[in-house]
C-alpha cells in the first residue's frame, strides 16, 4: 500500500507539473492580459508600464522558475486584474462552488440510483418506460439550456424562484437541478444496465429459488455487485459537476469560482488561470485516485496497476 501511495503521488505531481507548463506557456502565447482587460486599446507606453509592474517583461523561463519557486512556498501570485493574492480570491469563493457541487452530487447519486433501480427492476412498467424517455432527454440537453429554461419558467413567468445569487435555500433549487440532470441520466443508465446484467446471473436465480424475497435479493446481493461500474461513473460525474458548475454559475450569477475562472480566462489573467487550471486538474487526479482506492477496497478481485 505504501509503495502504491508513493508511486501514485509521484505520478500525480508530474502530471500537475506538465499541466502547469502547458497552461503557463499556452496562456502567454495567446497574447497580453492588458489588451484583454482594456478592449478600447492601450498605447505602447501604457503596455510597457504594466508589463514591468507585473514582471511580465522578464524572459519566459525566468518567469516560470520564479512562479514554481513561489508556488512551492504557497505564494501563487497576484491577480493582474484585481491585484489581490490569487489564493485569497479563489479561497473566498471556493466554498460556494463546493456547496453547489455537493448538493448536486447528492441529488445526482440518490435520484440517479433510484431511477436506475426502478428502470431495471420494473422494466416493463409504464412509469419505467416514461422514466427511460425522460432520462434520454436529460442526457441530450446541455445543462445550461435547462438552466435558462428553468429561469424562464420559474423566475420570469411564475415568479416563484430567484434567478441569481446564492443567499437562501430557495436559490439552490434551480442551479442544483440544472447541474444534476445530466449526471442523474448517466448514473441511472449505468445502474440500470449493470443491475440488469447482475440480476440475470445464476446466483440471483438461486437466491430467489431458495426463498429470499425478491427485493431483499436485489438490495442485499445484486445491488452491491452492480455498483462497481457505478463507482467509475461517480468519479466521472464529480469531474463533470465541477466543470459543469463553471457554466451554471455564470448563468445563475452564483458567487463561486466558476464565474471567477471564466473571467480570468477572458482577461488572460495568467496567475488566476494557472492556479485555477492546476487546482482543477488536482481535483480530477484526486478523484481518480479515490475511485481506484474504493475499487480496491470493495472488490478484492481488482488489483490496481501502479
Partner 1 sequence: MRNAMFKPVLLLLVAVSLVLAGCSSGAGDRDAGNSSTQKSGTAAAESGAIQHLRIGVQSFPSHLDSTSVSNASIQVIYNLYDTLIMRDPYSEEVRFLPGLALSWEQIDELTWEFRLRPDVIFHDGTIMTAEDVAYSMNRIIQRLDASYANLHSTFLANFEKFEVIDDLTVRAHTIKPEPLIENLLSDPNTGITSKAHIEKVGLDAARQHPITTGPYKVKEFVPDDRIVLERNDDFWGEKAPFETVTYYLIPEISSRVTAIANNEVDMVTNIPPDMEELLAQEEGVDLVGVRWPLYHVYVLNMNNPALDDPKIRQALDYAIDREALVQSLWNGKGEAATSLQFPEYGEPLYMPDIQNIGYDLEKAKRLIAESDYNGEEIEIYNTTNYYTYADLAAQAVIEMWKEIGVNGKLVQVDKMPETYDEVEMRTWSNPLYYNDPMGVMDLHWTDKMWPYTGGMFAPSQEFLDQLEIARYSMDLEKRVAAYRKLLELGREETPYILLYKPYEAYAMRNGLQWQVGKNYRPYTLLLRAGEVSFK
Shortest Å distance, C-beta 31 to partner 1: 5
Using CA atoms, how far apart are residues 2 and 117, in angstroms rounded to an integer?
A: 38
Q: Is 289 exposed, middle or buried (0-12, 13-18, 19+ CB in 10 A)?
A: middle
How far apart CA 275 and CA 11 sit, in angstroms, is: 19
CB of 106 to partner 1, least distance (A): 5
Minimum CB distance to partner 1, residue 155 (Å): 5
Of the CA atoms within 13 Å of residue 210, those in its CB half-sphere come to 9
Q: How far apart are CA 85 and CA 52, in angstroms?
A: 18
Nine cell digits for residue 11? 505520478
Q: How far is the CB of 124 from partner 1 (least distance, A)?
A: 28
Instruction: Give the separation between CA 241 and CA 183, rounded to whole angstroms.
Output: 8
Nearest-approach distance from CB 15 to partner 1, in angstroms: 26
The nearest distance, CB 3 to partner 1, in angstroms, is 22
**Closer residue to partner 1, CB minimum distance, 128 or 162:** 162
Helix (H, G, I), strand (E, B), or coil: what is residue 191? helix
Coil, helix or strand at residue 249: helix
Grid cell at residue 177 = 437541478
What is the torsional sign of CA 292, 293, 295, 299? positive
Minimum distance of partner 1 from residue 95's CB (angstroms): 8
Residue placing its CB nearer to partner 1 in the complex, 46 or 75? 46
Q: Which is nearer to partner 1, 45 or 124 (CB)?
A: 45
Least spacing, CB of residue 169 vs partner 1, in Å: 6
Considering beta carbons, is residue 37 or 208 the nearer one to partner 1? 37
Nearer to partner 1, 20 or 207 (CB): 207
In the bound state with partner 1, the residue whose beta carbon lies nearer, of 132 and 161, is 161
Distance in Å, CB of 108 to partner 1, minimum: 11
SS3 content of the chain, % helix, strand, coil (to 5): 80, 0, 20
Q: Which residues bind partner 1 (CB under 8 A)?
A: 31-32, 35-46, 49-50, 52-53, 78, 81-84, 89, 92, 95, 98-99, 102-103, 105-106, 109, 148, 151-152, 155-156, 159, 162-169, 172, 224, 227, 250-253, 255, 259-260, 263, 266, 268, 294, 297-299
Backbone angles phi, psi at 78, to 5 degrees: -120, 140
Q: CB of 135 within 8 A of CB of 115? A: yes
Q: Is 94 exposed, middle or buried, given 0-12, 13-18 or 19+ CB atoms closer than 10 A?
A: middle
Side-chain-facing half-sphere of 139: CA atoms under 13 Å: 13
SS3 of 78, please? strand
Whose Cβ is closer to partner 1: residue 240's or residue 255's? Answer: 255
**Closer by beta carbon to partner 1, 183 or else 255:** 255
Give the residue with the Cβ less far from partner 1, 3 or 43.
Answer: 43
Single out the residue of 283, 247, 91 nearest to residue 175, CA to CA: 247
Amino acid at each position: 500500500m505504501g509503495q502504491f501511495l508513493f508511486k501514485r503521488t509521484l505520478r500525480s505531481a508530474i502530471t500537475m507539473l506538465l499541466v502547469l507548463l502547458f497552461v503557463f506557456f499556452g496562456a502567454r502565447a495567446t497574447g497580453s492580459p492588458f489588451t484583454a482587460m482594456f478592449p478600447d486599446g492601450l498605447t505602447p507606453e501604457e503596455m510597457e508600464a504594466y508589463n514591468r509592474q507585473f514582471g511580465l517583461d522578464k524572459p519566459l523561463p525566468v518567469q516560470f522558475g520564479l512562479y514554481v519557486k513561489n508556488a512551492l512556498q504557497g505564494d501563487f501570485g497576484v491577480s493582474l486584474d484585481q491585484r489581490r493574492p490569487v489564493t485569497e480570491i479563489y479561497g473566498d469563493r471556493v466554498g460556494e462552488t463546493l456547496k453547489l457541487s455537493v448538493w448536486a452530487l447528492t441529488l445526482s447519486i440518490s435520484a440517479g440510483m433510484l431511477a436506475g433501480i426502478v428502470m431495471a427492476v420494473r422494466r416493463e412498467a409504464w412509469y419505467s418506460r416514461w422514466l427511460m424517455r425522460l432520462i434520454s432527454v436529460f442526457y441530450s440537453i446541455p445543462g445550461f439550456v435547462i438552466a435558462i429554461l428553468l429561469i424562464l419558467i420559474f423566475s420570469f413567468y411564475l415568479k416563484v424562484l430567484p434567478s441569481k445569487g446564492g443567499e437562501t435555500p430557495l436559490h439552490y433549487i434551480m442551479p442544483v437541478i440544472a447541474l444534476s440532470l445530466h449526471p442523474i441520466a448517466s448514473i441511472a443508465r449505468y445502474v440500470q444496465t449493470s443491475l440488469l446484467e447482475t440480476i440475470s446471473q445464476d446466483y440471483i436465480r438461486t437466491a430467489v429459488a431458495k426463498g429470499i424475497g425478491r427485493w431483499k435479493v436485489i438490495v442485499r446481493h445484486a445491488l452491491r455487485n452492480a455498483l462497481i461500474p457505478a463507482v467509475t461513473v461517480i468519479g466521472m460525474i464529480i469531474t463533470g459537476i465541477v466543470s459543469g458548475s463553471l457554466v451554471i454559475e455564470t448563468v445563475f450569477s452564483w458567487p463561486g469560482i466558476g464565474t471567477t475562472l471564466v473571467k480570468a480566462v477572458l482577461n488572460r489573467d495568467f496567475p488566476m488561470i494557472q492556479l485555477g487550471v492546476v487546482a482543477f486538474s488536482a481535483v480530477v487526479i484526486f478523484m481518480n485516485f479515490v475511485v481506484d482506492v474504493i475499487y480496491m477496497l470493495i472488490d478484492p478481485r481488482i488489483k490496481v496497476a501502479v
